[in-house]
Every structure is written in C-alpha cells, then in structure tokens.
Structure 1
C-alpha cells in the first residue's frame, strides 16, 4: 500500500468561480453541469498553475503512451504518465457509471451514446495525487487522477460522479475505481446535483456541491474498504 501523502498537502480543482488559488492546488475551472464538454486544453482565465504541468491545464498526450510509468514533480521534469492523458479521448476500463460493462471510449469528451457519458464537462480539469490503494505492497508508487464525469443529456435528467482513475500495471491503460456519485436527479429538468469544486486531502476527497435545491455545501469522503469504495463522513 502506498505511503501517505505529506500532511497538509491538498490538490484541488474548481468547477465554478470564486475559489482562492493555492500553491498546493492543481489548476481547474469548469462551467456549470450540462455545458459542452471540455477540450484537451480548455481556455481558463482564472486557473492557478502547477509546477509539473506548467500554466493552465495539465499536459495532454496519448491515452496509451509507450513510456514507462514514472512519478516526477518539480520545474523542468517530465510530467507523470497519468498527467499526459488526453482525457477527452481517453479509454477507461471498469467505468460502470457510464453504463458500460468493460471499456468506455471517449471521443471529444463523450462516449457518443444516445444517453451520453461525458468526461470533464464544461472544461473541468482532473486532480492528481497518490490516493488509490495499490497492491501488491511493493508496486511502484505512481500518481492517480480524479476526474468529473456526467451521465445524461443537457436539459434532461443527468447525474455527476467523481471518478478515481489509476494506471494499469504496464502504465499504458487507465481504469476506474469505485466512483463517488452525486445525488439522484430530481423530477425537474434543473434539479441536478453538481460538483462545484473538488480536491484531494491526503487519501480523502473533499468537494463543494450544489444541491438539488440550489444551495451549496461541503462534503467529504474517505475509503470504506480495501476495494476502494467510498463513504461520507
């Protein structure tokens, strides 16, 4: 199992305006749920920067690069393998939230179904950190990602989820662990719980959400078991 992150280091992504930038947080602004899916390099005017990925958004690359798994940080170093993911065109295995039995193939931010699953909607950005349990205990320590996914059409019932994504053993594939689901949508078209912002605090997840009633609140989740399931606390 991986060692714990340094105490006090938190990575965050903001899905709406109004959050204060911090040197410990990963860049990220995004529009409201239901807007067009973000591109590999969405235009963000107020996003803070990170040392390893440069200003703006994380570096985009091939979803299945041939380079070995690496974990690097600091100015002038190669970004970790997971940070080079081309998320709008990624292939993610075991993402059952998107109502798929095996792999979900995204193209330009959507899987293209009649009831689509969209990754990083509205220009949302991933958060990176070592927070997923890794087995065996001597496995190389690599960064993981937390990405926002939305299931459903705009102006219709839809639901959001935060999806932990980990590299496969060979470092070329991406697969999802159990997701953090938003609330079930209400009966009205606009009654959708959205993730306004989200961040990693050690191995836990903290998010500001907009509830079905339109208010906002902070929610926190921690691992419930060794399989990666989550529980609110």
Structure 2
C-alpha cells in the first residue's frame, strides 16, 4: 500500500444560492437523479466522456428533479484512459451494489437490463475524475480514477443510490469498483428515496449535496476508513 496518499481533483458546484471556492479543475458534476438514465456526455448520447481542465466557472445544480446540469471549464486536455470510458456501456467488476452474482456488471444503454435494474449515471449525472484511490503496488504509475453515480431499483418503486469509485485494472483496460458510498435506505414502502444532487472530490475525500428522505437537503462528507477503501462520514 502506498504510504503517501494521492491528491485528487476538486469539483466546484453551486446549489441554490450557495457556492464553493474556485479550484484547479472542473471535471464533471452530478445531475439530478431519479429520471431516465443519461449519457456521461449529454449532447452525444452514448459517447465517451472527454477531459477538461483550466480555471473554473462554478457549475449550477437545480433542485428540480428534471432540470439539467450546467457548467463550463477551460480548454480540453488529452483524455486519460479512464476518461475514455463509455460509461453507459461499461463493464465494471466487483460492483456488488447492483446485486448481481457475477463478478462483472455489464451496462448497456445505461442499465444492466435486469427486472430490478441497476442504472449508471441516471438523470444525466456525470462522472468526476481525480487521483483519489491509492495505487497498488506503491511503485505503480499513478492514474486517474472515477467517481460515478449508480441507482438500483425501478422508477416509482424502492430505489437506492450510491457513489461508486472506479479504478483501472493493472493492465489499464478493465475497470473495477471499490467499496461504494451508499445513500440512505428507502423509506415509506420505498416511495421516498435519498438522492445525490451533486458530488465532488476534495483531495481524497468525497463531498456531496443530497436530498434526504424528508425532502430537505444537506451536505455530507466521507473519507476513507481503512486501507480496503471503505468510507466513513465525518
């Protein structure tokens, strides 16, 4: 295990009237959840995500469930391997959150296609990138990682969301999940669902604005609890 933790990328978002300070790079932000699954690149459905860098103009996230996300960033840079992922059609290993018995979850057009589906980047959400997962072995070249939103369950039924850290495999071609940051269990017979309105990386930690089961919003923060990649709120 690498002793020195890698520093990730912070994503600035504005929710309602509040805003956070500018940071070095804007990579993506989470769209409102709970609607039909969307592509990581909303203007071209199914297209791989591209990289962006430069100074930041804060993104705006509406609290309306059907509203789009807006944001701007500086000139594009060369995309890393993880940024070339076609997320709506990705194959992700070790994603136990989706409830599959197989080692891998294969998404097609944003869903694994089961009767109780697992959807990736629902509602037009976008991945966030940064070096926030410790590389193994310690002398391995550092690579960017991704944080993506998934949702398990049918619309208008019991659903639960989670933020999934995704890392490249040793050969640089596969993608596998680390322990997820799960949203609250659904309440009132599954009708009420906690949703992630926005999320970002702050160094190696994760910060998100969520809508609680009671309809209120709050900011939550998580950090790694151990060397296995489990998370704890703080």
Q: Does the alignment reach a TM-score above 0.5? A: yes
Following superposition, the deviation at residue 108 of structure 1 comes to 0.3
Task: State the match for 2:53 in structure 1.
Answer: 51
Cα contact 1:12–1:26 (8 A) shared by 2: no
What runs of 5+ residues in structure 1 fail to find an aligned partner? 53-73
Task: State the match for 1:4 in structure 2.
Answer: 6
After superposition, the C-alpha distances for 1:150-196 in whole angstroms (9 at most, x for unaligned) are 00000000000000000000110000000000000002453100001
Task: State the match for 2:181 in structure 1.
Answer: 180
Cα contact 1:12–1:127 (8 A) shared by 2: no
Following superposition, the deviation at residue 11 of structure 1 comes to 2.5
Cα contact 2:152–2:160 (8 A) shared by 1: yes
Aligned-pair Cα RMSD in Å: 2.6
Following superposition, the deviation at residue 27 of structure 1 comes to 2.8
Counterpart CA distance in 1 for 2:228 and 2:186 is: 27
- More displaced 10-residue stretch of structure 1: 75-84 or 152-161: 75-84
Counterpart CA distance in 2 for 1:34 and 1:113 is: 17
Following superposition, the deviation at residue 10 of structure 1 comes to 1.2
Task: State the match for 2:107 in structure 1.
Answer: 106
After superposition, the C-alpha distances for 1:179-231 in whole angstroms (9 at most, x for unaligned) are 00000000245310000111101000011110000001111111011000001
Q: Secondary structure at the match of 2:11?
A: strand
Counterpart CA distance in 2 for 1:79 and 1:168 is: 17
Task: State the match for 1:137 in structure 2.
Answer: 138
Cα contact 1:13–1:26 (8 A) shared by 2: no
Distance change in 2, residues 1:29/1:134 (3 Å):
closer
Q: What TM-score comes out, normalization by structure 2 length? A: 0.79
Q: What TM-score comes out, normalization by structure 1 length? A: 0.80
Q: Secondary structure at the match of 1:11?
A: coil
